[in-house]
Copies of this chain bind each other. A is one copy, B any other.
Amino acid sequence: MTDRVFTADLAAHFGQEVLLRGWVQRLRETKSTTFIVLKDASGTVQVVADPQKTKPLGLKTEDCVEVVGRPRAEARARQGYEVDLVDVRLLAAAAEGLPFTSMSKLDDVGPEVQLDYRPMTLRTDRGGTVFRVQAALIEGFRAALRRRRFTEIFSSKIVGGGTEGGTNLFEIKYFERSAYLAQSPQFYKEHGVAGLERVFETGHVYRAEPHATSRHLTEYYSLDLEMGFVDGPEDVMQLEREVLSEVFEEVRTRFGDPVPGFDSYLPSLMEVPAWEFGECLERLRSAHGREDLVDDLDPEAERQLCALAEKETGVSAVFVVGFPLANRPFYTHPRGAAGAAQSFDLLFRGLEITTGGQRLHRRADLEEALRGRGIEPSSFEAHLRMFDLGMPPHGGLAIGAERLTGQVLGLKNVREATLYPRDRHRVEP
């Protein structure tokens, strides 16, 4: 027997006998013919069979089968071909009475059931597409940065302390002592800049936040970059415009625009404006009468600002730059002398998907910032000494991969874009 062939590659095998393997996605039996839609990693194909060959197996949907058959052109088929069955063998039967199948409409399946049976969610067109698009977004991020001389790094998630003051950390019992799960690779990517100038990392980060909203997880996948020799956060924002525009273009090419079955959004971000924080408050006051915002935005403001940006530029996205310094981590670089920070968020389709900025790069400035928060610099010595080694002015950003996927595909809850979401209540499966 020849090697197994993927259903997507059958056009090259017309008239030959090929070996196919996959799931029975649909099954229809008439007196004279059995029709099987066979699904594998590459797609689906309809297999046409003599019922005498299929009936004895008692096939049902979601069973795993091996089919020997002959592909032939078939103009009415979506793929342009069908397969005439020569032989079929049951490889592994699915159980009876599954809670849903790969043909179910996921909207009709409760979110908890989808999570409890994740493989079946993935086997649906919709579920499979969510995670394939997510993989493409993440790989696209990496590839765009490699093209710009960034080196991928892999930093430890077990840390001796927090990067942002020690709240919301998960504690690990680490032999005879305590350690913590990293909230961010912030320090490590800054070290990476001191060594390699441009670095990125894609990996999990952890926040022990007790709230369970549609946009929060205790463990999420962070797309991080950090670059040396910047003039300011504008360099980082411009890089993000370019990187996300390239990534979105690749997703459009591979998956279509809109992505079939989704209210997807994959615009060019090259013209996304950057609005100062104060200007944002002013716009919200004048357009929506909002007088309640003082030192931060809220989810409603994020939606309103995206709508205002869309009205002006045609794209529902805006950078907000110059947040109040007081709320930002100690390593944040000031923006001018009026208490603003060289920090920005990217709001995309109504949701913050990125936080970034320029960081302090002089040891003395970091020590002063720590003291200003009542922290003794010596407790950060293992980090601060890296700033003795010749640390260029630098900045970077972090994109939440699940949020990015959710906003790109128009998902209602970040959990739809998380294989196994973790929140206060869920650590299984």
Q: How many residues of A contact B (CB 8 A)?
A: 99
The CA of A97 and the CA of B420, in the complex, are separated in Å by: 49
List the B side residues contacting A142 at CB < 8 Å: 139
Q: Which of B40, B66, B172, B389 contacts A171 (CB 8 A)?
A: B172
The CA of A410 and the CA of B158, in the complex, are separated in Å by: 27
Of A130-138, A256-264, A310-318, which stretch is located at the interface? A130-138
List the B side residues contacting A206 at CB < 8 Å: 158
Of A121-129, A284-292, A350-358, which stretch is located at the interface? A121-129
Given A94-B388, A157-B204, A41:B195 Cβ within 8 A: no
Most buried by B among A170, A171, A419: A419
List the B side residues contacting A51 at CB < 8 Å: none
List the B side residues contacting A14 at CB < 8 Å: none
17 contacts between A and B (CB under 8 A): A22-B197, A40-B229, A41-B150, A41-B151, A41-B196, A41-B198, A92-B361, A116-B382, A116-B385, A118-B386, A135-B153, A158-B218, A158-B219, A158-B422, A159-B428, A170-B172, A171-B173
B175, A391: Cβ atoms closer than 8 Å: no
Tell me, rounded to whole Å, the shortest Cβ–Cβ distance linking A248 to chain B: 18
| B-facing residues in A139-175 (Cβ within 8 Å) | 139, 142, 146, 149-160, 170-175
**A44-64 to B contact mask, C-beta < 8 Å, 1/0:** 000000000000000000111
Which residues of A approach B to under 8 Å, CB–CB? 4, 6, 21-23, 40-42, 62-64, 66, 91-95, 98, 116-123, 127-128, 131-132, 134-135, 138-139, 142, 146, 149-160, 170-175, 177, 179, 181, 187-188, 191-198, 203-204, 206, 208, 210, 218-219, 221, 228-229, 361-363, 382-383, 385-386, 388-393, 401, 419-422, 424, 427-429
Given A23-B390, A428-B160, A154:B128 Cβ within 8 A: no
